[in-house]
Amino acid sequence: MPYNPEINHRRSIRLKGYDYSQPGAYFVTFNTYQNLPLLGKIQDGIVILTRAGQIVQQLWQDLPSHHSNVQLDEFIIMPQHVHGIILLVENDPPDRQTRSSLAEVVRAVKTFSARRINALQHTQGTPVWQRNYYEHIIRNDKELAQIRQYIRDNPRRSEKSHA
């Protein structure tokens, strides 16, 4: 069946007209392909990372080394997804040319982790992540505190819902 843009278009879940490279706090979630528990397991409310999960953790923590306008806040790697708060800050001196967008930052984690995980498992070309990611613009300190707590509580909450 040929591509029909009237039927086969992907709807963006992004806020229309919003510049996702501007400074701000963003809550992101991205899921493993087919929600497979590739990244770890939960035991007594604690996530025990697999080697694949450790790869994702290392790449997440390295983001500020590769993106000068990125700072990291709370994050958790769950068996089937990653939750994290990414802070995009103004470069010093301000230089729009070197400012990474939220999409570029998430794409970097997903792309490089998929390559390393596939190399580890000898599964080159196999999908590791679902397409796209969820994002939420954090608008104030109260919301930031609530999302931080949500991330911290995620392993226990997930373990209870699967018990």
pLDDT at position 96 is 58
Query: What CATH number corresponds to the domain at position 59?
Result: 3.30.70.1290
pLDDT at position 19 is 83
pLDDT at position 57 is 98
In sequence order, the 6+-apart residues with CB closer than 8 A to the CB of 153 are none
The answer to whether residue 55 sits within a structural domain is yes
Give how many domains the chain has, as a whole number. 1
Per-residue pLDDT of the chain (163 residues; tens, 9 = 90+): 454 555 544 444 556 778 888 999 999 999 999 999 999 999 999 999 999 999 999 999 999 999 999 999 999 999 999 999 999 998 766 665 678 999 999 999 999 999 999 999 999 999 999 999 999 999 999 999 999 999 999 998 887 776 5
The answer to whether residue 70 sits within a structural domain is yes
Per-residue tokens: 59: 């790449």
pLDDT at position 49 is 98
The answer to whether residue 78 sits within a structural domain is yes
pLDDT at position 9 is 45
Give the span between the Cα atoms of 67 and 95, in whole angstroms: 12
The answer to whether residue 14 sits within a structural domain is no
pLDDT at position 107 is 97
In sequence order, the 6+-apart residues with CB closer than 8 A to the CB of 129 are 30, 31, 32, 33, 110, 113, 114
The answer to whether residue 136 sits within a structural domain is yes
Does the pTM of the predicted model rise above 0.75? yes
Parent domain of 150 = 24-161
Q: What are phi and psi of 62, to 5 degrees?
A: -85, -10
